[in-house]
Amino acid sequence: MCSVLSTLPVHGGTKATMASKTAMHIPQANHGTTIEEPDLLAWVSAASDEKRELIVEANVPERKAVFQRRPDGRTVPVGIESGASSDRAETLIQLHNLLENIVDVLPVLLKAAGAVVVKASSREVRQFMDHPLVKRIRSNRKLRKSA
């Protein structure tokens, strides 16, 4: 991870400081890095017809927090920059369409999270896990019922 610090002109002639942590990520076949959970990786490696709910994170531009320094020297948050929102939306739609053609159950698009929820077998996951649009695959947590 590296830290990025730059200034941007904003309305009113002041400047905002943009700071974020970004990882160098090159889309390519990345079998070992898209799945980090050991039990999920073992399930994908096995031949199983069991379907699991998974969150497939899209390889979209990282979001960056924007800060502004006040005259008193304090730094305050002023917003979030997420890159070109049209590029982000297009990437999510492409990933959704890819998954729609692979899995049997219709995937659910989570625009704000930059991800798609799928219910897939290990065979289906192996078909899309190395795709350049896929950043990471993780289990969808199940919530316990309240008492």
Query: Tokens at residue 85, please?
Result: 């929102």
pLDDT in tens, the chain (147 residues): 333 333 333 333 333 333 333 332 333 344 445 888 899 889 988 888 889 999 999 988 777 788 889 999 999 888 877 666 678 888 999 999 999 999 999 999 998 888 999 999 999 999 999 999 999 999 998 666 666
Residue with tokens 């002109």: 9
Query: Tokens at residue 106, please?
Result: 């219709």
